Amino acid sequence: MSPALPPVLTIDGPTGSGKGTISRGVAERLGWHFLDSGALYRAVGLAASLEDLAFDDQDALARCALETVVRFEDRPNDDPLVFVNGAEAGAEIRTESAGAAASAIAAIPSVRAALVEKQRQFRQLPGLVADGRDMGTVIFPDAGVKVFLTASAEARAERRYKQLKQKGFEVTLATLLRDIVARDARDTGRAVAPLRPADDAVLIDTTGMSIDEVVNKVLALASARGT
């Protein structure tokens, strides 16, 4: 581990495990930067569909991942705003279909490779909380604290249902559960950087835990490690 680099706390886990809300809460409490790496994949998926790229055209998708300029604007108590090539992407970027598109392009090795440096650039002082699938395993393997969140697929579907309903989307619990199971299978089954806990990650099952309880648990862990 290089002592010169700013500290990183990684929070990985499957869709609906509460990663986004918890990572943001931890980042706010520590006063650190926040990387929503899923939004980066969602942004590339959006740029690719705006360019009408075929989802099996790996070279074009890798170029798109390299060239798409993504900027985040943090907001208190909400997902960051995402600007894709200068335009604010709107709430659509958080839909299940945008997540499924992101998951599909995220299985392409050259797309992932194109995003590695972009993600590492978020490592700035005083520190970074990085939320994703491979933050602790691939992007920041030297992170001082690594957390892997889990929760039952049913609990995760219910959380997504509440979140999306709050944002005004028409969704059903049964469809969300089916989508979550399919997305889990793709994210854990892919050959490159599959979703899995780093060997040195601390597993937290968030089923039945409140957001505050999980945030406090992660902060206690960070403090025990000297953060």
- Tell me which residues touch ligand DC (CB under 6 A): 15, 37-39, 41-42, 99, 102-103, 106, 132-134, 183, 187
Q: Determine what percent of the chain falls in helix, strand and coil, rounding each to the nearest 5.
A: 50, 15, 35
**In whole angstroms, how close is the CB of 4 to ligand DC at the nearest point?**
24
Return the amino acid letter for 188. Answer: T
At closest approach, how far in Å is the CB of 3 from ligand DC?
A: 25
Closer CB to ligand DC, 42 or 123, in the complex? 42
For ligand DC, which is the closer residue by CB, 130 or 209?
A: 130
Q: To the nearest whole angstrom, how small is the minimum distance from the Cβ of residue 223 to ligand DC?
A: 25
Nearer to ligand DC, 134 or 148 (CB): 134
Closest approach of Cβ 36 to ligand DC, in Å? 7
Cβ-based nearer residue to ligand DC, 167 or 223: 167
CB-nearer residue toward ligand DC: 200 or 220: 200
Q: According to DSSP H, which parts of the chain are helical? A: 19-30, 37-50, 58-67, 96-105, 109-120, 153-166, 173-189, 211-224
Shortest reach from residue 138's CB to ligand DC, in Å: 8
Tokens of 24: 């943001």
C-alpha span between 149 and 221 (Å, rounded): 14
3-state SS class at 90: coil
d(CA 28, CA 36): 14
CB neighbour burial string for 124-133, b if at least 16 within 10 angstroms, e if fewer: eeebbbbbbb
Q: 32 or 41, CB closer to ligand DC?
A: 41
Which residue number is nearest to ligand DC in terms of Cβ? 38
Alpha carbon 198 to chain centroid, angstroms: 15
Query: What's the angle, vertex CA 37, arms to CA 35 and CA 43, rounded to 5?
Result: 115
Rounded to a whole number of angstroms, the minimum distance from the CB of residue 133 to ligand DC is 4
